[in-house]
Structures are given as C-alpha cells and as structure tokens.
C-alpha cells in the first residue's frame, strides 16, 4: 500500500533535481561558452521490497534514480564582438588554462591581457600556448589570432594557442567559472577545429527547449502529487469505513 507513495516520492526527488539542472541552464543562458546539461533517468529495482498482493511475475518494485546529467557539447551561437582578443572555437576543441588547481579547459574565448601583458581569462588565469603561457610587451602592438590558433604581433609569430580535444568529452567535470576538468589526458584537436577571431561563443542553452522541459517537469510533479493524494484518499476512506462500528 505504501509502495505507491514511496515510488512517487523517488520520482519527485528526481524531478526536483532535474528542475535544478534546468534552472542552472536558464541562469547561464548568457554565459559565454556555457554547455547545458540534461538529466537521464534509470530504473532502480529495489531488491528487498516487493508487492505481495500483485501476481507473482510483477512483484518487484522499482524506483526512479537519476543516472547522469549529460553534457550537451553542441556549439553555441557565435556572436561577432570585434574585440581582437575574443576567440570562438568552431568544432570540438577547448582552450587550455592554468589555474592554481591545475590545468583546466574552457570554451569561453573572452580573453584579455593583464597588467604584465600576459594572455589571461576573465579570472586572470593564464591561457596556454603550445609552448606555455603567452606574454606581450608594448612593442608587440596589435595582436592577431589566426584561425589555427597562431598568435602573431608586429614582432612576428609569438606562439600557437593550445587547442585540445577529448576522446570522451562526456567525462568532463564542471568546475564553475566556465572551466572544465578532465581525468583523462587531452589530445591536440584536429585540423577541423578552427578559431574565429573577434567573435565569442555564446551559451548553447535554448530558452524554448528549457522552458518546455520545465513545464514537463512541473506537470509530471503535479500529476505525481495527485496520484499520491488519491492513494492517500483511498487509504483514508478505507480507515473510516473499517473503523466505523455501525457499518454504515
């Protein structure tokens, strides 16, 4: 009898978590280089619980559990900014960034120079080239980043941005600050990955999809609540009927 409520509850908890994921996608709809996540669910067969009243073949009870929140690595819209230090990555590459916690990867190409002339992200973390961090002086003048990541100035070629790709990009972990970390080693991105200079990759969150998903979640949640309510009503009327000594 109680199983209905417990199964419903397992689904509700998962739905709440999925709304959290949707909320994070919507909140980051204007975050450059942001990649949305979406939930996937699996059946979790409860080994110790079963419905004894049911026919023998369908006694096992299964709950819902969330298996993963899948990273959607589709490209975001590329917006022209005209800023020479903005780069958008076309293809499946990532820029490499050094942070105090180690190497991190990002699709957010809004780069800038710091007071010493180092090429850094908005957080001040150095962006790596094939040969390490890049630094510029006043003599360098205008900085040009070519489609393959080659950085050149008035002083000639200064290096090539390190664009990496992953064999299993799904395994990337979000670190916040638009950064990803990876346990597996990165490999150089292929020649199909190109940079577009003076442009920035926006978030790949699609407002319509997220709102549709959100409505689906709230409706599913509400219908579950109703189901649980009905079960509760059944139990309550059973109690009142059975407990009524007059038998009316």
- Where along the sequence are the contacts to another protein (CB under 8 A)? 12, 15-17, 19-24, 26-32, 34, 37, 39, 66-71, 81-83, 108, 110, 112-117, 122-123, 136-139, 141, 168, 170-178, 183-184, 207, 210-211, 214-215, 217-218, 221-222, 225-226, 228-229, 232
CA gyration radius, the chain: 26
Using CB atoms within 10 Å of the CB of residue 33, give its burial: 0 to 12 exposed, 13 to 18 middle, 19+ buried: buried
Minimum CB distance to another protein, residue 31 (Å): 4
Pairing, β 187-188 against β 163-165: antiparallel
Q: How far is the CB of 157 from another protein (least distance, A)?
A: 19
Q: Of the candidates 127, 160, 32, which has an alpha carbon nearest to the alpha carbon of residue 88?
A: 32
Question: Given its phi and psi angles, is residue 5 left (phi above 0), alpha (psi -120 to 50 degrees) or beta?
Answer: alpha
Least gap, CB of 153 to another protein (angstroms): 11
Q: How many residues make up the chain in this entry?
A: 248
CB of 15 to another protein, least distance (A): 7
Nearer to another protein, 59 or 170 (CB): 170
**For another protein, the closer CB: 44 or 136:** 136
**Which C-beta is closer to another protein: that of 28 or that of 152?**
28
As given in the structure block, the two tokens for residue 248 are 């009316």
- Rounded Cα distance between 10 and 48, Å, is 16
Nearer to another protein, 48 or 142 (CB): 142
Cβ proximity to another protein: between 146 and 227 the closer is 227
The distance of closest approach from Cβ of residue 125 to another protein in the complex, given in angstroms and rounded to an integer, is 12
| Residue whose token pair is 């949707």 | 22
């Amino acid at each position: 009898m109680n199983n209905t409520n417990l199964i419903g509850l397992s689904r509700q908890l998962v739905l709440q978590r999925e709304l959290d994921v949707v909320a994070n996608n919507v909140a980051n709809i204007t975050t450059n280089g942001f990649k949305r996540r979406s939930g996937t669910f699996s059946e979790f067969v409860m080994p110790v619980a079963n419905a004894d009243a049911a026919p023998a073949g369908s006694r096992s009870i299964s709950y819902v559990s969330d298996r993963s929140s899948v990273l959607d690595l589709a490209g975001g819209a590329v917006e022209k900014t005209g800023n020479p230090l903005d780069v958008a990555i076309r293809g499946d590459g990532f820029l490499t960034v050094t942070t105090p916690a180690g190497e991190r990867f990002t699709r957010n190409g809004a780069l800038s120079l710091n007071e010493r002339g180092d090429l850094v992200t908005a957080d001040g973390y150095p962006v790596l080239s094939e040969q390490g961090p890049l630094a510029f002086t006043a003599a360098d003048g205008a900085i040009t980043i070519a489609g393959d990541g080659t950085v050149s100035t008035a002083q000639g070629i200064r290096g090539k941005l390190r664009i990496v790709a992953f064999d299993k990009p799904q395994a990337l972990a979000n670190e916040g600050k638009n950064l990803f970390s990876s346990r597996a080693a990165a490999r150089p991105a292929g020649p199909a990955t190109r940079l577009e200079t003076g442009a920035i990759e926006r978030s790949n969150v699609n407002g319509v999809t997220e709102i549709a998903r959100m409505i689906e979640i709230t409706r599913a949640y509400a219908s579950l609540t109703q189901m649980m309510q009905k079960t509760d009503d059944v139990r309550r009327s059973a109690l009142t009927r059975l407990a009524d000594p007059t038998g009316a």
